């Protein structure tokens, strides 16, 4: 079966099943160095290996940029890309402030990005260092963190029980679809 972006998009208020995601999205390892905006050697500025423009050519691979791991944002954006939703490579504070590619959402719906942090920090903008996950459905958040090492689905209480994720900052909804 070929993995295609836009598949399995949930009906309104419907849950997304983690087990139905492509294996490439279920087996990503955590790497804090693989964040949006990271520089060589962790995240080369040239296209990811496996793409037609990459050194050595090859067929495009939507998940090639996850082959060497990801942090929470890079992973969440790849999940949304699988469903045809495109978010630019924003760090968490940029994502929280963004009004071009996302909008703030009141109650999270499936495929909304959700942000957690330990609370405000003097001298830092809201969202700085926030953890980003993908709301899958009622009380289910798909995310990638150092503690779990691989993608995991946690309940909101699981985040609240950890000081670094103890505050639910809010939800952001993608406003555009991926090209092509």
Asked whether the whole model's pTM tops 0.75, one would answer yes
Structure tokens at 176: 């555009």
Examine residue 100 and state whether it is found in any structural domain, yes or no.
Answer: yes
* Closest among 123, 121, 125, 113 to 168, alpha carbons compared: 113
Using one digit for the tens of pLDDT, what is the confidence trace for 85-144?
Answer: 999 999 999 999 999 999 999 999 999 999 999 999 999 999 999 999 999 999 999 999
Using one digit for the tens of pLDDT, what is the confidence trace for 19-47?
Answer: 889 999 999 999 987 666 554 344 333 33
Examine residue 25 and state whether it is found in any structural domain, yes or no.
Answer: yes
Judged against a pLDDT cut of 60, whether residue 57 lies above it is answered with: no
Examine residue 90 and state whether it is found in any structural domain, yes or no.
Answer: yes
Most confidently predicted of 33-42, 55-64, 160-169: 160-169
Examine residue 78 and state whether it is found in any structural domain, yes or no.
Answer: yes
Q: How many domains does the chain have?
A: 1
Beta-carbon contacts of 62 under 8 Å, excluding residues fewer than 6 positions away, are: 3, 5, 78, 81, 82
Across 99-119, b (16+ Cβ under 10 Å) vs e yields eebbeebeebebbbbbbbbee
Mean pLDDT value across the chain: 80
Q: How far apart are the first and last CA of the chain?
A: 20
Examine residue 10 and state whether it is found in any structural domain, yes or no.
Answer: no
How many residues are present in the chain?
Answer: 180
Examine residue 3 and state whether it is found in any structural domain, yes or no.
Answer: no
CATH of the domain at 46: 3.90.1720
Residue-range definition of the domain harbouring residue 90: 18-174
pLDDT tier, 65 (very low <50, low <70, confident <90, very high otherwise)? confident
Examine residue 7 and state whether it is found in any structural domain, yes or no.
Answer: no
Judged against a pLDDT cut of 80, whether residue 163 lies above it is answered with: yes
pLDDT of residue 35: 63
Q: What angle do CA 133, 138, 144 make, to 5 degrees?
A: 20
Examine residue 122 and state whether it is found in any structural domain, yes or no.
Answer: yes
pLDDT of residue 36: 64
């Amino acid at each position: 079966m070929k993995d295609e972006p836009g598949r399995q998009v949930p009906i309104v208020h419907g849950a997304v099943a983690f087990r139905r995601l492509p294996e490439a999205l279920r087996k990503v390892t955590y790497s804090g160095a693989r964040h949006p905006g990271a520089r060589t050697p962790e995240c080369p500025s040239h296209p990811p290996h496996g793409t037609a423009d990459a050194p050595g050519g090859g067929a495009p691979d939507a998940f090639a940029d996850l082959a060497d791991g990801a942090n929470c944002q890079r992973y969440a954006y790849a999940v949304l890309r699988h469903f045809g939703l495109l978010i630019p490579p924003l760090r968490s504070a940029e994502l929280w402030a963004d009004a071009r590619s996302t909008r703030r959402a009141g109650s999270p719906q499936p495929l909304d990005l959700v942000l957690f942090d330990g609370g405000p920090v003097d001298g830092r903008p809201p969202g700085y260092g926030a953890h980003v996950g993908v709301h899958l459905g009622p009380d289910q958040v798909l995310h990638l963190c150092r503690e779990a090492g691989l993608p995991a689905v946690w309940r909101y209480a699981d985040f609240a029980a950890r000081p670094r994720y103890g505050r639910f900052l809010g939800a952001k909804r993608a406003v555009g679809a991926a090209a092509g």
